[in-house]
Structure 1
Amino acid sequence: MVDVLDLSNNSLDGTVPVTFGHLRAPRFLNVEANNLGGELHFLGALSNCMHLQLLDIAKNSFMGSIPDGVGNFSNKLQILYAHENQLSGRLPAMMANISGLLAISLYGNQLSQMIPAEIMLMENLQILNLRDNLLVGVIPTEVGMLRSLVELHLYNNKFIGPIPDGIGNLSNLQSLILSQNNLSSSIPNSLWHLKNLILLYLSGNSLTGMLPVDTGSVQVIDQVDLSTNHLSGAIPISLGQLQTLTYFNLSHSMLQDSIPDSLSKLTSLVTLDLSDNSFSGTIPNSLANLTYLRDLNFSFNKLEGQIPTGGVFSNITLDSLMGNGALCGLPHLGFSPCASNSQTAKLHILKYLLPSITAFVICIIVLSLIFKGKFKTPKEGSAEPPTMVDAVNHILVSYHEIVHATRNFSRDNLIGVGSFGKVFKGRLSDGLMVAIKVLNLESEQASKSFDVECQALRMVRHRNLVRIISTCSNPDFKALVLQYMHNGSLETLMHSKDRPHLGFLKRLDIMLDVAMALEYLHHHHSDVILHCDLKPSNVLLDEEFTAHLADFGIAQLLIGDETSIISASMPGTVGYMAPEYGSIGKASRKSDVFSYGIMLLEVFTGKRPTDPTLVGELSQRQWVLDAFPNRITEVIDPDLLQEEKADGFGAISTCSNADFSTLDICVVSIVELGLLCSNESPDRRIPMNEVVNKLKKIRTDYNSQFDE
């Protein structure tokens, strides 16, 4: 009895035989990515497969219309993929008869006419992807009835009219992409109250009106693109409440007024594009404090005054500021010096400030002498008490505050012990909870580790890297003060006795976070940084279980092209080291990729590379490879074979012990990627930017396949 028929990614041509309909037992039929063609007459025969749950005919050359007979499929059918073909004609209303459908993906075809209202009454539908077609008319007002909908992608069609206000009723909606249509009217206020919304793309339409005053309800929003519309009015101050926003594009519209200072509260922001509007006033100086902001475009507005310095403005180009004739302050970009910066003005100000500055310096010297006598150093013989200077905020913290914060380095505050020292948690006098890494100065390697980690962490700024807050160093004491992670390490999360249930999607998100951190270090930083010690204990989790890569104690700088290697004096951890790194001490980007691959396999199998059951020549990778792909469930973490619920650790799926084939589809791509990354040959490993792309695709595919 055939349960799964997977013929995807071959070079099959011709048509799908109607005899497939005689296979009444299959639950999964996949012919994706072949050269199959012809019309869809075989769907009538396939409707006899009463147990069919997934039908994937995407990425072929099927043509013609979708027959009404598609509505005869059993309600057990959950997934229907027919994207990237040459299908034309209308979307049949009869498709709504398949009440069990969770995902309809028909993008990249030539479908035309209007969306039938019946499709909008499918209560279980979670994914509706009709992008890149020729669909016309208005978006049916009944769309508000799709209460289970998670993704609605209708971009690059020919829709007209308003965005239905009923979309605001879709409380589960995470991704709304309606770009590149001819939608008009204003943006419904109800969209800004979708608390689960992550992506909002409405660009390339004819939307009018003003943004609502209250936009703060979309608390988990990550990307907003409202560019190339006819929006007017001001940017609402409430946008500053969107702490998770990384991408914000309002370019090519008719917005005006000043740029609100509240945008500086968007602490996760990476891209901000306000170009081609009518913004006036000055650029808020506070935007220079946004740690992750690297892409900024204010060109072709009516801005004036001093261009801020520091932060993103340190490397800003003329393209990002041109078209604002009244700006000043960056002569190297062709802007005039500001009046207050002229030599005459400087001398005028200096005449009044110099006496005050002199008095202030004298006071500082006197106070320094007083404090030098008042405080003792941690050990006799030290020249002066160590202080810590934050590389970003210039916070000054005394050694004695460290002692107080850790309760004199109490065992109750101890959260980790490593080869180079100990890590304590502590709360500074301003209430900030921190992790304090105190180095063991009896180890020569610890001092080298301290210097390397300071250099690496000060050079990098990324949301998935642990942030260095301060350093403390004198001959008798060295410590790093780091961002505190409330949920500990991935090692503890994976292997502790009382570990919480960790679902597929949460594991995937954690490893995607780590991959994006490595992608930044390898490909998006001016100096390539190799971590050299990737392992679960160096992946820390914050309150939201977002992963942050830590412990750069043996990190290396790499100068050169993609194939460059360097000698590394301090080895990584056994089990995670690339073969070439462990044998000859040579590290490259591909060495980190290997370690990442081993960690990826560990996260989804639950077995460490040093597990005692792996004896002789049997490595973790070989153990997985021997089972791949036909016996994949034999090596997957048993927790993933249990029922998963949609909670903080779960996923939008159900994988039961009796449903191993579903799990095959869930994890086979992840395991394949882990094996590819951990290949013994460095040349066969893929770079981290490709790893990130593959993981994002896996996540998208996964979310489109399973029920909550």
Structure 2
Amino acid sequence: MVPRIQLYLLVLFIQVLVIAAWTNPSDFSALQALKDEWQYTPPNWVGADPCGNSWEGITCINSRIVSITLASMGLSGQLPGDIENLSELQTLDLSYNEGLTGSLPNGIGNLAKLTSLILVGCGFSGQIPDSIGSLKQLYTLSLNSNKFIGPIPPSIGTLQKLHWLDLADNRLSGSIPVSNGSAPGLDMLVQTQHFHFGKNQLSGEIPSQLFSANMSLIHVLLDSNRLTGKIPATLSLVQTLETIRLDRNSLSGPVPQNLSKLTNVQEMFLSNNNLNGPLPDLTGMMSLYYLDMSNNTFDASDVPPWFSTLQSLTTLVMENTQLKGQVPAALFSLPQLQSVILRNNRLNGTLSIGSSYGTELQLVDLQNNSIQFFTDKAGGYGIPIILVDNPFCQGSTVTYCILPRQVNSSYSTPSNCLPPQCRSDQVSSPNCQCAYPYTGTLFFRAPSFSDLGNSSNFVSLQQSLMFTFHSNQLSVDSVSLSDPSKNLDDYLTISLQVFPSGLDHFNRTGISAIGLVLSNQTFKPPPSFGPFFYIGNSYQYFSGIPSSSGSSSSTGIIIGAAVGGSVLLLLLLGAGGYAFRQKRRAETAAKQIDPFALWDPNKNSGGVPQLKGARNFSFEEVKKYSNNFSETNDIGSGGYGKVYRGTLPTGQLVAIKRAQQGSMQGGLEFKTEIELLSRVHHKNVVGLVGFCFDQGEEMLVYEYIPNGTLKDSLSGKSGIRLDWMRRLRIALGAARGIQYLHILADPPIIHRDIKSNNVLLDERLNAKVADFGLSKPMGSPDRTHVTTQVKGTMGYMDPEYYMTNQLTEKSDVYSFGVLLLELITARAPIEKGKYIVREVKQAMDMTKDLYNLHQVIDPVIVSSAAPRSLEKFVDLALRCVEEQGVNRPTMSDVVKEIESIMELAGLNPNAESASTSESYEGARKGYEHPYSDESLFVYSGAYPHSKVEPK
């Protein structure tokens, strides 16, 4: 009787589940595949009915899934091919999930009803599949800020409903595709309003066929690519254009005169190209707010009269354009003019601002010209007028002849009341409510203003954001804007905080809704801000895990089923306990042989050592990725073994360090090293992608750093030219990386081998500290030193450590001080028997210009470095190489000092690095191997005790 009751309850329970589960089976299967592939999915993704149970981020209509919006959820994993089975899907927004990686599946082209594909700020790589061209309903395609490579698919040209096309900030290469009869191209996108292709590696000419009179384009953004040839005259046919960015390419030839026909253009950036010929006459562009044609080789000409006719102009930037003659006073009377930057030209005569200059004027920068006289007014002008390096300033100490300190806007949304005392992890909103805000950064690619001190601009932006959030019924109490600044791409960046209403935190639905408003361009900023994109941070403060029963069954049925199930459970407990004990014994035996046997990086079991972002590769996988460890993939060798360049299936390039027999560690030691490296995550530290402990092999897989070592660039081997600005940024990046190891790594790490060979430069010449083969964890934060055998590189080694065997964080500081001297001199630490520290100290004379170091300092930087910044840099380096560690600064002090030096040199230490390394490169001369012989290798032997003389 009992079995029959149990069977009845079980059948009844299953029937209830079937009735409740009304989500389309195919859709559920596809969504289940996503759930299985991804980590950190919403906690209410349980049960068999996503539609009926309202899975967070999932929207359904009539049992079919039509929308997946999961912005800023902290998801990680890849996008499985099963996504193609969501045949009714209209919106897919996975933005701001950096952990989403790998290639887009080709089957994504089967989502025939998709109107919005938005993957902004993820980690996707590989080529954009050509099947994208099958999405005929697509209106918004935003794939910007990922790692996509390869060409722009020509098939995109068939998307006749496409309105928004953003492929910027990837690694796309090749030419811009246009149609040629049988093949489609982007010239066919006559309804598209946005071409955003900036910050890629596109090459070749801009096709004249790309533009036509029947197009609807308002934004053409092609900045920071490798485009060559002339600006096509056909650009003038697109009368709807409002923003043009062609800067930071290698365009040549004259600027087409017919661009003056573009009477709706508000911002035009043509700077940092090879444009030549006469300056174009832009008299007709009466809507022009922002004009930058700097750093081109135009024919020498007097300041053209049309400058003074552009009544809408806020910003005129014509640095290094061979302008000559006298600046007309009429220019400064333009009513909206904010900034005039005409430095590094041939301007001469008398400068007169006049008494009727515009009330908006904030900056006049005319440094490094030939201006002989300046008509000042009583009491001065009250705005920065910079005349440094003009004849007028010879022997003069007036304010106009001193470089002002660069100061970023300190704007922050003010509070409407007295801010309360909040918990340390909360923030007070503008309405004085303690909460956990959703944060991120707004990037405006072409603002029409340059005055960041005018708070009215940001007030209007704040009001516009709130209007949009409330119009979309989002539970937002207030927003806060702060830290507006211009980065090296001339983008305006603003930090954004969005505060919840009613509670002190958002739930997942609220975050994904806010993310969608910003990612799919529902939010329209005030016109003066121009085109934008948003990069959101993962949100960590969700309200909790919603309960989900998975069915509508009654309490009685559930209890009955539970009672029946308990009977079966009791029968299985004995056998289960025995099986568990046997499994534990087998696992213990396996662990003794292979320390990685129970190491599953995809599970968060408490006692198992955890990888943080690193992957366990099989030997066969690594062999395949390195082309069978072929000689053509060999990029270096050293005492540890060899390094090979490899390519993962996602398209990501990696450096594979393969240990040779004799240098391999034991399994447990190797595992310990992997655990240490997997905890290290910082933008200025080379990242560990994974490892291989298989078939008797030990291999480490690092991210591939394309521009090689700092040593190669300082020696000229790489062909990259490092000016003073770049060297300061490299010094700051390396210092921040070491500071992270000393303070924020868990446990703190002493690198023990800081040198120019172990500082790598990425595609934007950002410094990354590499090679942890000799690194030592400090263990307890209270420890002051580690007693260990002396290891390191002669010339960089701390003499105190060398003599006492006591390794401290100050040992890294000493090595870094040697690195700073190497940056200044471009000399190896020990060269022809001379030690760089001793050479600098002996040549030093602080009473003389540049401390009497003219014969030691690299000539490449002498002309570009502000003398005082160079002297302070030398001071810092010598403090770092003090013989006694107690007299050296900490790395935190070093970071602050370099930031101060950068500000003294007129640089923003928090600005982004250069968009690419192209402007710093000479002829590469076949340079293929970015890792030198020593880079990324462990030198496991101690150096002989021959005393290092640092004095």
- TM-score if structure 1 supplies the norm length? 0.50
Report which structure shows greater RCO (CA 8 Å, sep ≥6): 2
- TM-score if structure 2 supplies the norm length? 0.38
Specify the structure having the higher radius of gyration (Cα). 2
